[in-house]
Structure 1
Amino acid sequence: METREDLINISKTIFYSTVFNETLSDPKRKYVYYDVAIELPPKIVSDGMWGNNTHGSLPTNSTMPVLELQILTIFIITQCFHTILKRLGFPYLISQVLAGLVLGPSLNIEALKKHKNLLFPYGSEDLLSLVSAYGYALFLFLNGVKMDFSMIIRTGKKAWTIALCSLLVPTCLGLFIFYHFMDYWKDKLGEFEGEKLPVVVIAHSGCSFPVMASLLSDLEILNSELGRLALSAGLVMDVLNSIGSGLGTSIVSSLKTDSSDHDPNKGVALATFSVLKFVGFLVLVILTRPAMNWFVRKTPEGRPVKKIYTYLVMFMAFFLGLIGMFSRQSVLAGFLIFGLVVPEGPPLGSELIKQLDLFATWFLLPIFVTSCAMKVDISRHIDSKLILVMVGIIVAVHLLKILITVGICCYCKIPKTDGLCLALMLSCKGVVDFCTLVFLHDAMILSREQLTIMAISVLMLGSIAPIGVKAIYDPSRKYAGYQKRNILNLKPNSELKVVACVHKPFHIGSMKNALEICCPTSSNPLVVHVLHLMELIGRSSPIFISHRLQERVGSGHFNYSEDVIVAFDLFEHDYAGNVSVSTYTAVSPSRFMHDDVCYLALDKLASIIILPFHLKWTEDGIVESTDDNIRTLNSKVLEKAPCSVGILVSRGSSISSYDKPIRPIAMIFLGGSDDREALCLAKRTIKEGANTLIVYHLVSSNNNEQTNWDLMLDDEVLKGVKGYYGHVENVTYEKVAIEDPSETTAFISEIANQHDFIIVGRRNGIKSSQTAALESWTEFPELGVIADLLASSDTNTKASILVVQQQQQMHKSRAHHT
Structure 2
Amino acid sequence: MDIMHKRWCLNNYSFNPLVTSLMQTSCILAISHFFHLLLKPVGQPGPVAQVLAGAVLGPSSLSRIEDIREFFIQPTSAGYYQFFSHLFEIMFMFLIGLETDISFSNRNLSVASIIAYSGFILNCILGAALSPLFIKLLKIPDKKVEFAIVVMMILANSASPVVIRLVADLKLDTSDVGRLAATTSLVNEMSCVLIASLLYAVSSWESFSYLFLSFLLTGSLIALNRHLARWINKSDRESKYVSNAYVSFIFFLILVLSFVIESCGYSSTLSCFLVGLMFPRKGKTCRTLLSKLSYPVHNFLLPIYFGYIGFQFDINYLKSIPTIVTIVVMILLNFGGKLVSTLAACHYLKIPLNEGVMFALILSLKGHFDLQLINVPPNSVAYCLFSSLLLQLWWNPGVRSVLLSIVVFDTIIAGIIVAFTVKREEKSLAHKQTSLELHDLESELRILACVYFPRHSLGALGLISALSGSKRAIVTPYLMHLVELPEKRKTNLLYHQLAEGDQYSDEDDYGGDDVVEINDAVDVFTSETKILINIVKVVSSSATLYEDVCTGAEDRRISIIFLPFHKHQRIDGNMEIDKEGIRTTNQRVLRHAPCSLGILVDRTVTGFQQPHCSNSVQHIAILFFGGPDDREALACSKWISSHPQVKLTLIRFLQVSEQISRNHNQDNEVMLAEPTNGTEHVIDNTSLVEFYNRYITSGQANYTEKHVSSGAETVTALRELRDSYSLFMVGRGGQRHSSITTLSDWEECPELGTVGDFLASSDFNTNASILVIQKHQHTTDNSFRGDY
Q: TM-score, length-normalised on structure 2?
A: 0.60
Does 1:286 find its partner at 2:232? no
Could you list the per-position Cα deviations for residues 504-550 of structure 1 after superposition, in whole angstroms to 9, with x for gaps in the alignment? 741258859999xxxxxxxxxx9997956146999xxxxxxxxxxxx
How far apart are residue 728 of structure 1 and its match? 4.1
How big is the shift at 1:245? 1.4
Structure 1 residues 70 and 562: CA distance shift in structure 2, 3 A: closer
Post-superposition Cα deviations, 1:258-315, rounded to whole Å, max 9, x if no partner, equal: xxxxxxxxxx5xx232122121221122123332222133244795555544333222
Return closer, same or farther for 1:163/1:666 CA change in 2, 3 Å cut-off. closer
2:184 to 233, 252, 263: 233
Partner in structure 2 of residue 201 of structure 1? 152
Q: What amino acid is aligned across from residue 449 of structure 1 in structure 2?
A: V
> For the Cα contact (< 8 Å) 2:258–2:272, is it kept in 1?
yes
State the Cα deviation string for residues 198-249 of structure 1 (Å, max 9, x = none): 5233212122333343343334343444445434433332222111112334
Q: Give the residue type in structure 1 aligned to 2:224.
A: A
Would you say the 8 A contact 2:756–2:772 is kept in 1? no
Q: Is the 8 A contact 2:43 2:419 kept in 1?
A: yes
Q: Is the CA contact 2:460–2:562 (under 8 Å) kept in the aligned structure 1?
A: no
Q: Counterparts of 1:98 and 1:186 in 2: how far apart (Å)?
A: 29
Match of 2:774 among 775, 800, 805: 805
Residue in 2 that maps onto 1:214: 165
Correspondence 1:94 to 2:48: yes
Q: Which amino acid aligns with 1:417?
A: N
Following superposition of structure 1 onto structure 2, how do residues 293-304 of structure 1 map, counting pairs within 5 Å?
293-300=226-233
Query: Equivalent residue of 1:105, what SS?
Result: coil
CA 1:616–1:272 in 2, change beyond 3 Å: closer, same or farther? Answer: farther
> Take 1:614 and 1:439, find their aligned partners in 2: how far apart are those partners?
60
Percent identity over the alignment?
Answer: 20
1:136–1:360 Cα contact (<8 Å) kept: no
State the one-letter code of the partner of 1:74: I
User: Aligned equivalents of 1:689 and 1:374: distance in 2?
Assistant: 65
The corresponding residue for 2:121 is 168
Confirm or deny: 8 A CA contact 1:405 1:419 kept in the other structure: yes
Q: Does 1:471 align with 2:428?
A: no
Match 1:318 to one of 240, 243, 255? 255
Q: Report the equivalent of 2:195.
A: 244
State how far apart, in whole Å, the 2-side matches of 1:509 and 1:452 are: 52
Deviations 1:712-752 (A, max 9, x none): 8899999xxxxxx9854774589xxxxxxxxxxxxxxxxxx
Give 1:666 deviation, angstroms.
12
Q: Which residue does 1:355 correspond to in 2?
A: 292
How many residues align structurally? 604
2:345 maps to 1:390: no
- 1:168-199 deviation digits (Å, cap 9, x = unpaired): 12213431443xxx3x5544432259943552
What residue number does 2:664 align with?
none
Q: Partner letter of residue 414 of structure 1?
A: I
Answer whether contact 2:602 2:608 (CA < 8 A) is retained: no
CA contact (8 A) 1:216 1:222 kept: yes
Contact 2:729 2:771 in 1 (8 A): yes
Is 1:693–1:730's contact at 8 Å kept on the other side of the alignment? no
Query: 1:292 is matched by which residue type in structure 2?
Result: N
- Superposed CA offset, 1:24-74 (max 9, x none): xxxxxxxxxxx976349x9xxxxxxxxxxxxxxxxx866776666544433
Q: Counterpart of 1:739?
A: none
2-structure distance, mates of 1:189, 1:404 = 28
Consecutive unaligned residues in structure 2, runs of 5 or more: 1-6, 378-389, 450-455, 481-493, 496-522, 538-551, 610-615, 637-647, 656-676, 685-705, 716-726, 738-748, 784-788
Q: Which amino acid aligns with 1:298?
A: W
372-381 or 95-104: bigger deviation: 372-381
1:651 deviation in Å? 6.7
**Distance in 2, Cα, partners of 1:431 & 1:465:** 19
Kept in 2: contact 1:501–1:612 (CA 8 A):
no
Asked if structure 1 preserves the Cα contact closer than 8 Å seen for 2:233 and 2:283, the reply is no
Q: Do structure 1's residue 277 and structure 2's residue 240 form an aligned pair?
A: no
CA distance change for structure 1 residues 157 and 560 in 2, over 3 Å: closer, same or farther?
Answer: farther
8 A contact 1:143–1:336 mirrored in 2: yes
Corresponding residue to 2:348 among 403, 406, 411? 411
Distance 1:236 1:377 in 2: 31
The residue aligned with 1:191 is 140
Q: Deviations over 1:466-491 (max 9, x none)?
A: 4324533634465489x9759xxxxx
The amino acid of 1:237's aligned partner reads N
Q: Distance in 2 between matches of 1:245 and 1:417?
A: 33
Q: Once the 2 structures are TM-superposed, how far is the Cα of residue 460 of structure 1 from its aligned partner? A: 1.3
Whether contact under 8 Å (1:666, 1:759) holds in the other structure is: yes
Q: Deviations over 1:651-690 (max 9, x none)?
A: 768643999x9999999x9x99769989999xxxxx9999
* Counterpart Cα distance in 1 of 2:10 and 2:364: 46
Between the aligned partners of 1:439 and 1:672, the Cα distance in structure 2 is 66
Q: Distance in 2 between matches of 1:447 and 1:462?
A: 23
Retained in 2: the 8 A contact 1:693–1:731?
no
Contact 2:565 2:602 in 1 (8 A): no
- In structure 2, how many angstroms separate the alpha carbons of the residues matched to 1:636 and 1:170? 51
Q: Which amino acid aligns with 2:140?
A: E
Partners of 1:613 and 1:650 within 8 A in 2: yes
The aligned amino acid for 1:172 is I
Task: Identify the match of residue 142 of structure 1 among 76, 87, 95.
Answer: 95
- Distance in 1, matches of 2:157 and 2:588, equals 35
Instruction: State the alpha-carbon separation in 1 of the partners of residues 472 and 90 from structure 2.
Output: 46
Q: Which runs of 5+ in 1 are unaligned?
A: 1-34, 43-59, 252-267, 487-494, 516-525, 539-557, 566-583, 599-608, 682-686, 695-710, 719-724, 735-755, 767-778
Q: 2:458 matched to 1:506? A: yes
Q: Which stretch of the first structure deviates more once superposed, 439-448 or 392-401?
A: 439-448
Q: Equivalent residue for 1:429?
A: 366
Cα distance between partner residues in 2 of 1:728 and 1:594:
45
Distance 1:662 1:155 in 2: 35
Contact 1:691 1:730 in 2 (8 A): no
> What amino acid is the match of 2:10?
I
Q: How many angstroms apart in 1 are the aligned matches of 2:233 and 2:212? A: 35
Where does residue 533 of structure 1 map in the other structure?
477
Contact 2:633-2:729 within 8 A present in 1 as well? no
| Partner Cα separation in structure 2 for residue 559 and residue 442 of structure 1 | 52
Q: Equivalent residues in 2 for 1:331-370 (5 A)?
A: 335-336=272-273, 338-339=275-276, 342-344=279-281, 346-370=283-307
* Other structure's SS at 1:106 match: coil
The AA in structure 2 aligned to 1:206 is N
Amino acid in the other structure paired with 1:506 = L
SS of 1:319's equivalent in the other structure is helix
Q: Is the 8 A contact 2:153 2:370 kept in 1?
A: no
Equivalent residues of 2:729, 2:773 under 8 A apart: no
The within-5 A match list for 1:60-79 is 69-79=23-33
Q: How do 1:29-40 residues align onto structure 2 when only pairs under 5 Å count?
A: 38-39=10-11
- Is the 1:100–1:372 contact (alpha carbons within 8 Å) kept by the matching residues of 2? yes
Say if 1:664 and 1:692, in contact at 8 Å, map to a contact too: no
CA distance in 2, matches of 1:177, 1:501: 50
- Contact 2:620–2:649 (8 Å) recurs in 1: no
Distance 2:458 2:306 in 1: 46
Task: Please give the alpha-carbon distance, in whole angstroms, between the structure 2 residues aligned to 1:513 and 1:322.
Answer: 43
Rg larger for: 1
Distance 1:432 1:78, change over 3 A: farther
- Per-residue Cα deviation, 1:111-141 (whole angstroms, up to 9, x for no partner): x543564577774565455446423332223
Structure 1 residue 458: deviation in Å? 2.0
Q: Structure 2 counterpart of 1:311, which letter?
A: S
